[in-house]
Amino acid sequence: MSKSKRRLPFVGLMALTVLMGGMVSCSKPPGTNNPTQPGEVTLRYGPFNIPGMNQPSTGLASLMPLLGMTPETGMVWNQPVTNVQKPCNACYITGMQAGLEYADRSNANINTGVWLHHMVLMSQGAGKSDPTCATNGFSLPHFAVGASGATAERIFASGNERTALEVPANLNYGYPVAAADRFHLLVDLMNENEAPKQVYMTIKYKFKPTATPGIRPVKPLWLDINQCGTSEVKAKTGKYNYKSVPWRSTLNGPFIGVGGHLHDGGTNLTVDVNGQVVCNSEAKYATKPEYISGGGGMDHGDGGMDHGGMMEHISEHTVCYNIGQLKTGDVVGITANYDDTQHAQMVHNGKLHNVMGIAIGYVGQ
């Protein structure tokens, strides 16, 4: 897709500005204060009410036509939630993992017809600037939370596979959080039940104190086949791939880790630096029972899928660690590989669901 085609039209900007008046904003407790010991905390965000599968989507769904997309039902589509609770006011985050649960804290997943379709966590504050969208002029995810690529950075994302990203134990790095930084979320949820569902999104954070001797900050790096846009592209059939626009690195430091995100039908996502593949993040299917749909856990028995029957979904994505050194000027790209002869793609409301190809990595500073 060309860059200009991805740019939000003026009308879209107007509509978005109006919508943002109705944006969810949490009045939140101040979070754990300055921790003095390494720790772990799971924060709960929400609740989010996902419409039933035949009811109009909420969130920013009314923008979909302006973005050239067909509106879908049964989704909380990219709901911005600004100024959410942080795991600590001054610390280094060393691990993150997203989840989805019902009010009673039981797991909300595909086997009950509910998806953490994706979530994006951003940080806004002094020195925050998104390496791959800062100079883009317009970046949809940043704009949606009232920021820009030059004032906020995407620090974490997850799909329903809920991959944990963690600094390896032998490395003394973390993502710095300052008291004045503000965290924002984009939350995208899907419901395959007739009835609406209420859920909470969770993030389990691991952190270290700011005063940890010798600790160094990481910069998050977001690579995407539809960078600074919706991250979505149209699904094709058969064996196909999508590549990102190559990005010339502005970062210089150890490439600590990177993990991929694909939709069903995806086989693997590769990250390349100067034409050499440095990571192959593989999608694994149905390695846990809650990643099989059509088993009867939904309120109309057949799994709510248009195609009926059992279907296996991505339940894990491998993560690469200790990738080597990333240098200023290196050319970095990703390739998202799909093959629907190996794994079925999602059909939602009778049409192929859009696909994604995202990799989020961390570079030591």
* Interaction site with Cu ion (CB under 5 A): 118, 159, 356
Residue 331 C-beta: closest distance to Cu ion, Å: 25
Q: Please say which residue, 184 or 317, places its beta carbon nearer to Cu ion.
A: 317
Residue 313 C-beta: closest distance to Cu ion, Å: 12
Q: Please say which residue, 8 or 120, places its beta carbon nearer to Cu ion.
A: 120
Residue with the CB atom nearest Cu ion in the bound state? 356
Q: Please say which residue, 161 or 181, places its beta carbon nearer to Cu ion.
A: 161
Residue 355 C-beta: closest distance to Cu ion, Å: 8
Q: Which of 131, 156, 134, 158 is nearest to 147 (CA)?
A: 134
Residue 25 C-beta: closest distance to Cu ion, Å: 25
Q: Please say which residue, 45 or 255, places its beta carbon nearer to Cu ion.
A: 45
Q: Please say which residue, 112 or 231, places its beta carbon nearer to Cu ion.
A: 231
What is the distance of C-alpha 111 from the center of its chain? 21
Q: Please say which residue, 199 or 256, places its beta carbon nearer to Cu ion.
A: 199
Residue 188 C-beta: closest distance to Cu ion, Å: 7
- Whole-angstrom CA distances from 185 to 124, 153, 157 are 11, 11, 10
Lookup: tokens for 293: 């749909």
Helix, coil or strand: residue 304: coil
Q: Please say which residue, 117 or 208, places its beta carbon nearer to Cu ion.
A: 117
- Whole-angstrom CA distances from 219 to 87, 216, 325 are 18, 10, 13
Residue 269 C-beta: closest distance to Cu ion, Å: 12
As a whole number of angstroms, the distance between CA 257 and CA 279 comes to 9
Lookup: tokens for 24: 């969810």
Residue 350 C-beta: closest distance to Cu ion, Å: 20
Residue 338 C-beta: closest distance to Cu ion, Å: 13
Residue 274 backbone class (left: φ over 0; alpha: ψ -120 to 50; beta: rest): left
Lookup: tokens for 137: 């002029």
Residue 244 C-beta: closest distance to Cu ion, Å: 15
As a whole number of angstroms, the distance between CA 14 and CA 20 comes to 10
Cβ atoms of residues 140 and 230 within 8 Å: yes
Q: Give me the numbers of helices (H) and strands (E) for the chain, helices first please.
A: 3, 26
As a whole number of angstroms, the distance between CA 30 and CA 184 comes to 14
* CA distance from start to end of the chain: 33
DSSP string, 59-111: ETGGGGGGGT----BSEEEEEEEEEEPPS-SSEEEEEEEEEEE-TTS-B--GG
Q: Please say which residue, 208 or 263, places its beta carbon nearer to Cu ion.
A: 263
- Whole-angstrom CA distances from 37 to 97, 209, 333 are 20, 6, 38
Q: Please say which residue, 8 or 356, places its beta carbon nearer to Cu ion.
A: 356
